Amino acid sequence: MAKKSMVARDAKRVRVAARYAEKRARLKAVINDRSADPDQVEAAVVALQKLPRDASPSRKQRRCRVSGRPHAVYRKFGLGRNKLREAVMRGDVPGVVKASW
| CA distances from residue 59 to 34, 42, 84, 85, 89 in whole angstroms, order as listed | 27, 24, 24, 27, 33
Model pLDDT, residue 56: 95
Rounded Cα–Cα distance for residues 68 and 86 (Å)? 15
Residues of the chain under the 50 pLDDT cut: none
Fold for domain 1-61?
Answer: Helix Hairpins (1.10.287)
Q: Does the pTM exceed 0.85?
A: no
Model pLDDT, residue 96: 86
Rounded Cα–Cα distance for residues 78 and 74 (Å)? 6
Kindly list the domain boundaries of the chain, sorted by start residue.
1-61, 62-95
Model pLDDT, residue 98: 78
